[in-house]
Structure 1
Amino acid sequence: MAQGKVRDKKVHEAKIFEDVLSLCLSSGGQRAKVARKVEGDVDSSAESPDIRVSIAKRDAIVGIEHFRIDQNIKGGKKDESKDLETSGLMNKRRLEVLEMDDGPDRDAAMFDTVGKAAANYMQHAFDAKPGDLARSLEARLYGTGSGHACKLDTYRRNLSSARASKVETGFLIEIHSDFSGYFINDERGTRRVEKGQAVLPPETFDLLKRVSKDVDWLLLGFYPNVTGEIVDARIIDCREGRFSASCRKQKLTEVELLRIEDGRKRRVGYDHYSPKEDSDQTQIWFYRDDDPMRPFDIANQCVSKTAEALNLARCRKPFAATASIQAGYETVRYAAEKYRGEFSASIVLRLLQGMYPGEACRRYADFGKRYGIASEGNSAIS
């Protein structure tokens, strides 16, 4: 790796560590309490592991290896970040355009560059599945030849010469995700998910629990997809089997995802034009060339997923649902309180049929107004 890239890598690793530690410390409570246990003199100049923290008050050294995982990944064996590739590609194309001579050709090339890169990114975002975050994590942890969990013995050997009575290891995981189309439901109520907010589907949470048996610390930084500052963070104490208790005390848990399943390939295209010949403004718009799902298919899935949401809520298990499913859940949840059995699609239909005329439509519309999506039409709740 070129010297400049090595320097940039080390600066980035140090920033991510500082992001996670600072946010946890400033959050107070249990997050700050755990964060103070890994606070010390930081050396980010080494490799394998990337960061070494000397903690005098515990006479310990913590070796921390950094890596990134993404919800939006490319295909292939390595399951690499599509977001990272998009950022690099757009910057490369931007530099190429800046080197061109001024004139109409340069402007057209610039808009074509932006349109092509953005359409390509949206294509992969549409194709991304909730399970892809787990695929990315599994590849970084256990991938053949590159899995960090497989290198833990090497990290420990490299730390063995440290003058400390305790040698501990951990992973600093930079998590890039966007579940902003979901509404999360847990013990704190219902709220819209922000870009980059800490949402861990069961497959991802299970992988963290699995690797927690091999390390002492998991430092988790949650970021938006492509760019942006840290949104959320946790430092999980994995020593002596404390993973589950540490997660619970910091309100970090697995979240079931409920969404409309759509197996069709969505092809995204783009075009651009200037409203006037002498205008310095140009509009770029994007479109999909696929046919919309049949309303009957959407309705069937909404009903069955609403039943899943009701069952999860009854068991007090956190879940996140897309708008159409959340709207269905909020429409029937109060009527469902009197039902004692397991919910199914037929039970949800029976609950809807048992409401006063127009009540279901009113509650559905109230959901849209409450979250500011009613004016966007029915397509907004999907």
Structure 2
Amino acid sequence: MNSVDKKKKQHEEDVLDDVFTYCRHAGGYRKKQVLKITGEVYSGGERPDLIITRGNGFVIGLEHFRVDHHIKKDNKAQSKDAELCSCLERKRIAFCDSHNEWLDDQTYEEAAEILGDGLLHYMQNRSAASYSNLAYSLDKRLFDRSTGHANKLAAYRDNLAEKHGKMVKTELGYLIEVRSDFGGLFLTSDYVTRQLAAGECPLFEDIYDCLERAAKEVDWILLAFYCPLGSKIVDAAVIDCRNGLYRTSCKRQNLFRTAYLGSGKDISCCKKSGSGSMRISTDGEEIKIVLENTAVNPNPGILQSAAVLGAAQALNLDRRGDPFVATLPVQIFYEMLRYESKKIHGEITKQTVQALLCEIPADKRLAYGNAFGERYGIGSNMA
């Protein structure tokens, strides 16, 4: 096994260990799920990548793959962040090899330039991304006609039977590494709202449905959630898909089919204007990196129209107690009108939201926007 293969296998083991460790610490149902599949892990093979041998005679095969929020717009849906990480690692190795004895002001600036260039590229990747990118990446990895893992399940099962004997009970599952950044968006679930941290990823409608389709053909789905460039796991789940338990297992881990409301769903909510620039300055021991954000926000009229429509959808979902994730403009309108809308009977429409907003004096809308900003630590003059 060459060094690249060893690194790949070690990474697969690390992701599995992250899921087990996170779920054990979470306790409750997640911990119980881990106990059902814990055993001796063998990572030396392929198809499937990992094999867990349990003392009760069960053998569980897990196929690992990664899905990304920041992808190239091509048929392969390649990860921009994986490419960026590889590039930064090459630069880091080259830098360390050439400065292994002494560090001076110039070398500190060189290191800052490498870091700043990486951050600049990440900002560009983030501003160009849409929610649908992640759903497309998942569908591509699972169900693509030529490369999708769902098409290879029969081969995985045959390999397990061949290696461990047909008398041994075998189960099969996916270990899915999810790399996303929806940080700053607002999740409302069980009538409680909070901002998502980077790396957190609710099971949006398309993603939930895609996993449910996959669950009909496997026994387990393990989810590991990370930031696009981070190595620390943010969330994890072990979903039992046996006997049609997918929805029940998701629900017991607070994984619900969640709507995405606002701009940035099918296309990026920002447009790129130029490649951006970087400026590095030093002040004694302090190094300052200033990056130019070249993302251009959409037309305010388009943004407001999306926010009004999203607010109507949010208010209807709130009445039914269904979870949703909202962009900042949608969330402001939703919270501003949540109690005002209770006087409305029937379905709330875009026109309803516009009428309710017109009933609120401009100074009160401004005051509410500022209070919203203070509440979430976003800033002033929000409306």
Per the normalisation by structure 1, the TM-score is 0.90
**Match of residue 272, structure 1, among 279, 283, 286:** 279
Could you say which residue in structure 1 is the equivalent of 2:157?
Answer: 156
- Work out whether residues 215 and 238 of structure 1, in 8 Å CA contact, stay in contact via their aligned partners in 2: yes
**Match of residue 60, structure 1, among 58, 61, 73:** 58
SS in 2 for 1:68: strand
Could you say which residue in structure 2 is the equivalent of 1:305?
Answer: 310
Using the TM superposition, name which of 301-310 and 174-183 deviates more.
301-310
Say if 1:332 and 1:73 are closer, same or farther in 2 by CA, change over 3 A.
same
Work out the CA distance in 2 between the residues paired with 1:54 and 1:94.
39
2:371 aligned with 1:351: no
**Match of residue 369, structure 2, among 321, 342, 364:** 364
The Cα shift of 1:104 comes to 8.1
Work out the CA distance in 1 between the residues paired with 2:296 and 2:321.
38
Using the TM superposition, name which of 112-121 and 42-51 deviates more.
112-121
Work out the CA distance in 2 between the residues paired with 1:309 and 1:215.
34
Aligned residue type for 1:16:
V
Work out the CA distance in 1 between the residues paired with 2:270 and 2:296.
12
Could you say which residue in structure 1 is the equivalent of 2:81?
Answer: 83
Aligned residue type for 1:274:
S
Could you say which residue in structure 1 is the equivalent of 2:24?
Answer: 25
The Cα shift of 1:271 comes to 2.0
Deviations 1:76-126 (A, max 9, x none): 221121111111101112333444578887666544443333222221211
Sequence identity, in percent?
34
Please list every run of 5 or more consecutive structure 1 residues that lacks an aligned counterpart in the other structure. Answer: none
Say if 1:14 and 1:273 are closer, same or farther in 2 by CA, change over 3 A.
closer
Say if 1:290 and 1:197 are closer, same or farther in 2 by CA, change over 3 A.
closer
The Cα shift of 1:344 comes to 1.9
Say if 1:157 and 1:304 are closer, same or farther in 2 by CA, change over 3 A.
same
> What are the residue-to-residue correspondences of 1:131-280 with 2, within 5 Å?
131-161=132-162, 162=164, 165-187=168-190, 189-261=192-264, 262=269, 264-275=271-282, 279=284
Using the TM superposition, name which of 212-221 and 86-95 deviates more.
86-95
Work out the CA distance in 2 between the residues paired with 1:98 and 1:250.
44
The Cα shift of 1:301 comes to 2.5
Work out the CA distance in 2 between the residues paired with 1:147 and 1:169.
15
> What are the residue-to-residue correspondences of 1:327-346 with 2, within 5 Å?
327-346=332-351
Work out the CA distance in 2 between the residues paired with 1:327 and 1:284.
32
Using the TM superposition, name which of 156-165 and 249-258 deviates more.
156-165
Say if 1:326 and 1:158 are closer, same or farther in 2 by CA, change over 3 A.
same
SS in 1 for 2:272: coil
2:301 aligned with 1:296: yes
> What are the residue-to-residue correspondences of 1:28-107 with 2, within 5 Å?
28-57=27-56, 59-100=57-98
Deviations 1:130-164 (A, max 9, x none): 01111111221123443221111111111114255
Work out the CA distance in 1 between the residues paired with 2:191 and 2:236.
18
Say if 1:291 and 1:174 are closer, same or farther in 2 by CA, change over 3 A.
closer
Work out the CA distance in 1 between the residues paired with 2:287 and 2:231.
26
Aligned residue type for 2:132:
G
Work out the CA distance in 1 between the residues paired with 2:282 and 2:38.
56
2:134 aligned with 1:127: no
Work out the CA distance in 2 between the residues paired with 1:44 and 1:273.
44
The Cα shift of 1:230 comes to 0.9
Say if 1:280 and 1:250 are closer, same or farther in 2 by CA, change over 3 A.
closer
Work out the CA distance in 2 between the residues paired with 1:238 and 1:293.
42
Per the normalisation by structure 2, the TM-score is 0.89
- Work out whether residues 126 and 266 of structure 1, in 8 Å CA contact, stay in contact via their aligned partners in 2: no
